[in-house]
């Protein structure tokens, strides 16, 4: 499961749990983006985003967190991550790459996308109210070489952008992120200075 997780919230966790059950996965590995291909500066540092993701997932034995992307010195592209995972796990492992559907619709523009299409089945998580059929049609031609499943996740009404705005405006983020994550955000004074 790839994402900036800036910060990780209940929408991400429900997406992971839903994917686990719907696609009968053994584990979900949260792959925290290091240096993002298109967003040179995410709001919280890779170390903070990794620490919050670890806190959020700690009680679920089926969730793991990888620091592989955050340890890379250069921009991390999903193709490099998938190559790394294929080299790490047993040869017969079947991979799904879970992320937001907005991101999935752009995969054709990602580095080495033709190869990427063969390295994973994609799961695009959508928020309620998202016109998925319309979006699928609009991107049908572009995505024809990719295997993509879509998953509507009501809890994705929560977004990282909204959580950052709430912290900045001194509004509550209780129940939108886990208590541990909220405590971490306040302790480290994250997201107070802007979006
Ligand atoms: P993004 O563009 O910030 O997010 C797009 C939408 O998807 C947002 O609404 C976001 O909501 C949601 N989203 C993101 N990750 C999600 C997840 N794991 N589960 C459910 N919803 C999710 O996406 P991003 O986080 O920057 O990138 C997503 C993944 O694509 C990352 O792994 C990134 O490395 C990869 N990527 C690769 C390339 C490339 O290889 N060239 C280019 C771009 C992105 P929230 O803001 O609430 O999370």
Q: What is the 3 state secondary structure string of the chain? A: CEECCCCCCHHHHHHHHHHHHHCCCCCEEEEECCECCCCCCCCCCHHHHHHHHHHHHCCCCCEEEECHHHHCCCECCHHHHHHHHHHHCCCCCCCEEEEEHHHHCCHHHCCCHHHHHCCCEEEEEECCCCCHHHHHHHHCCCCCCCCEEEEECHHHHCCHHHHHHHHHCCCCCECCECHHHHHHHHHCCCCCCCC
Higher pLDDT, 102 or 67: 67
Question: Is residue 125 in contact with ligand 1, taking CB distance under 6 Å?
Answer: yes
Work out the mean pLDDT of the chain and round it to a whole number: 93
Inform me whether the pLDDT recorded for 42 exceeds 80: no
Task: Determine how β-strand 148-152 pairs with β-strand 121-126.
Answer: parallel
Inform me whether the pLDDT recorded for 41 exceeds 90: no
Percentage of residues in the chain with pLDDT exceeding 70?
A: 98
Question: Is residue 3 in contact with ligand 1, taking CB distance under 6 Å?
Answer: yes
Indicate yes or no: pTM above 0.75: yes
Give the pLDDT mean for 81-100: 97
CA geometry: angle at 5 spanning 66 and 97, to 5°? 60
Inform me whether the pLDDT recorded for 195 exceeds 60: no
Inform me whether the pLDDT recorded for 135 exceeds 90: no
pLDDT at 151: 93
Determine which of 36-40, 82-86, 93-97, 156-160 has the lowest per-residue pLDDT on average.
36-40
The answer to whether the Cα torsion of 157, 159, 163, 164 is positive or negative is negative
Question: Is residue 66 in contact with ligand 1, taking CB distance under 6 Å?
Answer: no
- For residue 158, report the distance from its CA to the centre of ligand 1, in Å: 14
The ligand 1 atom at the shortest distance from the C-alpha of residue 160 is 47
The ligand 1 atom at the shortest distance from the C-alpha of residue 109 is 41
Binned at pLDDT 50, 70 and 90, residue 145 comes out as confident
Cβ proximity of 193 and 69 under 8 Å? no
pLDDT at 11: 97
Higher pLDDT, 79 or 129: 79
Kindly report the protein residue whose alpha carbon is nearest to atom 46 of ligand 1: 160
Kindly report the protein residue whose alpha carbon is nearest to atom 34 of ligand 1: 33
Question: Is residue 111 in contact with ligand 1, taking CB distance under 6 Å?
Answer: yes
Determine the longest span between alpha carbons in the chain, in angstroms: 49
pLDDT at 23: 97
**Residues 43-63: pLDDT tens digits?**
999 999 999 999 999 999 999
Residue identified by tokens 């306040």 is 186
Find residue 2's DSSP bridge partners. Answer: 31
């Amino acid at each position: 499961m790839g994402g900036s997780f800036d910060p990780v919230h209940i929408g991400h966790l429900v997406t992971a749990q839903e994917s686990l059950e719907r696609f009968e996965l053994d584990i979900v590995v949260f792959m925290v983006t290091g240096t993002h291909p298109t967003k040179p500066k995410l709001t919280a540092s890779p170390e903070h985003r990794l620490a919050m993701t670890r806190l959020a997932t700690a009680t679920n034995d089926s969730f793991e967190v990888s620091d592989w992307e955050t340890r890379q010195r250069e921009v991390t592209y999903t193709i490099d991550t998938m190559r790394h995972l294929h080299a790490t796990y047993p040869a017969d492992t079947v991979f799904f790459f879970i992320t937001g559907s907005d991101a999935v619709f752009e995969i054709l523009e990602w580095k080495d996308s033709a190869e990427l299409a063969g390295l994973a089945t994609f799961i695009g998580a959508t928020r309620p109210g998202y016109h998925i059929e319309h979006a699928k049609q609009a991107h049908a031609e572009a995505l024809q070489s990719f295997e993509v499943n879509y998953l509507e996740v009501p809890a994705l009404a929560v977004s990282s952008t909204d959580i950052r705005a709430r912290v900045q405006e001194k509004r509550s983020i209780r129940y939108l992120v886990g208590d541990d994550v909220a405590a971490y955000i306040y302790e480290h004074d994250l997201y107070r200075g802007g979006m």
